[in-house]
Amino acid sequence: MSTRQVKILARIRPLIDGEFADDGLRIERDSGKSFIIAKNPKIPTQVFSFPFTSCYGPESTQEEIFMDEVDPMLDIVYSGITVTIFAYGVTSSGKTHTMQGTKAQPGIIPRAVEAMFSRRTEDTELSVSYMEIYKDEVYDLLVERETASKLSVRENQHGKVFVANQLSIPIDSESDFNELYAEAIKRRSVASTNLNRASSRSHAVLTLNVKTQVNGAVTFGKLNLVDLAGSENNKLTGNDVSRMAESSAINKSLSVLGQVVHALNTGASRIPYRNSKLTRILQDALGGNSLGLLICNIAPTLKHRQDTINTLNFASRAKNIENKPVVNQRDPQTNTVVAVAPRLPTGPSLPSIPAPKAHAGPRPSIGLKQPSRVPRPSSVAGSGPLLRDIPERREPPLLTEQDIDARIAKAVEAEVARRLAEHERQQAERVRDAELLAQQGEASHRSSLAPAFNDQPPPTEAGSRSAGDDELRQRLQDLEDKLESGNAETRMVSDLSPVSRKKAGRAYVALARAQSEKNNLTLALELYRKAESYVPDNIKLKERIIEIEWAVKNGKAFNPSPKKPKKKGAKKNKKASWKASAGEAFVPAGPEAENEQENVGSPLRRSQKRGAGELQDHEAFATPILKRSRIEEEAEVEED
């Protein structure tokens, strides 16, 4: 089955009342490619460049975006494929304007309905469903708010997710739709915040279902139009308590969306769709069987800039997600709906599948049914076709808390082993070089190598630790080998408990920080990215990654942002805990891990006895052992 990447476009909205322009954000076009260029608001000399399939500036019109990006996808819907278009961005960046629009500037939803009707044939049946996900609960927006009960998200026997008992109302004309839609949008949860007078407090998913005939086969296409709630910075929104609760639900679900994208990008064997209703419902569009278009909405002002950079970073990752679109059609023999592979041209552009020819004659009226509170399983939107040939997602094996902790221990220790091996290899290389030069009688070269040797532990230390360390190295090597063989399992980060994830994340941050302090930025970046696999929703970590990526790309030094001022009493506590835990190791739980800790900790403890200067020699491989003096970033990991 051929795969298709999610298409990503960026749209910068114009300035609105009370906003001021600055030079920190612009679009650049070069050889047919477009980029959003954004300055880091904290360090203006850092300029980020984010590539997109297409970028639209403040002057762009609703019509332009619809005709260029959305209209071509409607033919695909008519061929029986599900297409999902979602608007993503911080609060007040223009998502609702893009999807819904205004009377004067209608957005994608009303335009898509008009275009869908213009394509119908006499065999076509169109229906609509509309739901919102508010505080991680699903409500039907086609039902009166007072009587709307929470809907549950279910999965059929083929792993297809659907919203049980959601209405799907047949529509016979645009005016049918407009009537329903006008009522439904009034039911959506909207409130005023400091950043947006009419801020969406929920994610809204409008679905247009199309049943039609293509070359004699009955097909079932679907267009999902998703207006996500915006991520919110509560320092800026000025939210009160009830708004904060909404905001926290919005941010949490968006954070899970980020985790899903991250897991898909890193090829994780388990994707955490189940961690929020939003990602469960969007599962088909994220690595599933539909085609995706993500509109990344961008607010132009400085106060949104940091959040905008995070949005852009999310979007650039999302473009690597691959879906396997299928045509949903009726099997005349069994009278069930089956998934068949579409005939898609290869290449990055979206497939253009010709729509069936419009029928010239008059079309019999389908007739508008009244909304009903009685569940109608046959018309439940999203219950979708039965996909016989889609392999079921394999459930990961059940893991005990002990298994999980043991795996973290292995993962971290493997990193230690890798660093140790690298350290030893470099040392051996230096010794070899020096011996070679000595043999050649090049005394001058030897003296010039002396400083390099001064960086290493004194020979006596090396000698004294050789037996124990050889054993340690062997054990770590064994662990690394084990890790390699079970690598697929360790990728199942989402199986870990939150505490275990944080532990592993902290360990990698400590390693990364040590490397960035030594200006080994490429390695630091690699380690920060590993940390991100464990704590993917840590915003500060993301910002750090973006900054180091920039420094690496531009060959610049990396200057970490200033450390946070210490909290009152923190110094005292820190001192006490440092004293109490001199050489305190990152302690993976579980008996096996405890034994390992004895060994992993020992070189560090010996080093500490030798004093601070010597301690640094071992930092390269001892950093997972968290030293109290350097855990500001780990604390940040915990805070988020």
Ligand X SMILES: Nc1ncnc2c1ncn2[C@@H]1O[C@H](COP(=O)(O)OP(=O)(O)OP(=O)(O)O)[C@@H](O)[C@H]1O
Task: Return the range that interacts with ligand X (CB under 6 A); candidates 13-21, 108-116, 377-385, 553-561.
Answer: 13-21
237 interacts with ligand X by CB under 6 A? no
Q: What is the amino acid identity at position 296?
A: C
In three-state secondary structure terms, 288 is coil
Residue 275's CB: how many other CB atoms inside 10 A? Answer: 18
Bridge-based pairing of strands 82-88 and 217-227 is parallel
47 annotated as ligand-binding:
no
Residue 594's CB: how many other CB atoms inside 10 A? Answer: 13
User: Toward ligand X, which CB reaches closer, 100 or 323?
Assistant: 100
292 annotated as ligand-binding:
no
d(CA 391, CA 604): 49
- Structure-block tokens of residue 255: 């954070």
CB of 117 to ligand X, least distance (A): 25
300 interacts with ligand X by CB under 6 A? no
d(CA 457, CA 435): 18
Place of tokens 């459930």: 395
- Selected from 169, 206, 225, 229, the binder of ligand X by CB under 6 A is 229
d(CA 159, CA 559): 47
237 annotated as ligand-binding:
no
CB of 129 to ligand X, least distance (A): 21
Q: At what angle do helices 443-454 and 401-439 cross, to 10 degrees?
A: 160
CB of 233 to ligand X, least distance (A): 12
User: Toward ligand X, which CB reaches closer, 188 or 606?
Assistant: 188
What mask of x and - would describe binding to ligand X in positions 71 to 110, judged by CB under 6 A?
------------------x-xxxxxxx-------------
- Structure-block tokens of residue 639: 């805070």
User: Toward ligand X, which CB reaches closer, 16 or 539?
Assistant: 16
d(CA 563, CA 571): 14
d(CA 63, CA 69): 10
User: Toward ligand X, which CB reaches closer, 196 or 515?
Assistant: 196
User: Toward ligand X, which CB reaches closer, 188 or 503?
Assistant: 188
User: Toward ligand X, which CB reaches closer, 16 or 615?
Assistant: 16
In three-state secondary structure terms, 335 is coil
- Selected from 80, 110, 230, 258, the binder of ligand X by CB under 6 A is 230
Q: Are 298 and 311 in contact (CB under 8 A)?
A: yes
User: Toward ligand X, which CB reaches closer, 84 or 212?
Assistant: 84
User: Toward ligand X, which CB reaches closer, 89 or 356?
Assistant: 89
90 annotated as ligand-binding:
yes
Bridge-based pairing of strands 125-134 and 203-214 is antiparallel
CB of 199 to ligand X, least distance (A): 3
User: In the window 164-223, what residues touch ligand X (CB under 6 A)?
Assistant: 196, 198-200
7 annotated as ligand-binding:
no
The CB-nearest residue to ligand X is 230
CB of 89 to ligand X, least distance (A): 5
Q: At what angle do helices 498-517 and 632-639 cross, to 10 degrees?
A: 150
User: Toward ligand X, which CB reaches closer, 89 or 536?
Assistant: 89
d(CA 154, CA 138): 12
Q: Which of 330, 120, 126 is nearest to 216 (CA)?
A: 330
96 annotated as ligand-binding:
yes
d(CA 529, CA 508): 9
396 interacts with ligand X by CB under 6 A? no
User: In the window 239-298, what residues touch ligand X (CB under 6 A)?
Assistant: 297
301 interacts with ligand X by CB under 6 A? no
568 annotated as ligand-binding:
no
Q: Are 300 and 19 in contact (CB under 8 A)?
A: yes
CB of 291 to ligand X, least distance (A): 23
CB of 91 to ligand X, least distance (A): 4
How many residues touch ligand X under the rule CB under 6 A: the total is 18
CB of 331 to ligand X, least distance (A): 41
Give the gyration radius of the chain's Cα atoms.
29
Q: Which of 240, 311, 277 is nearest to 135 (CA)?
A: 277
d(CA 275, CA 271): 9
Binding positions for ligand X, rule: CB under 6 A: 13-14, 16, 89, 91-97, 196, 198-200, 229-230, 297
Q: Would you list which residues are annotated within the binding site for ATP?
A: 89-96
Q: Would you list which residues are annotated within the binding site?
A: 89-96
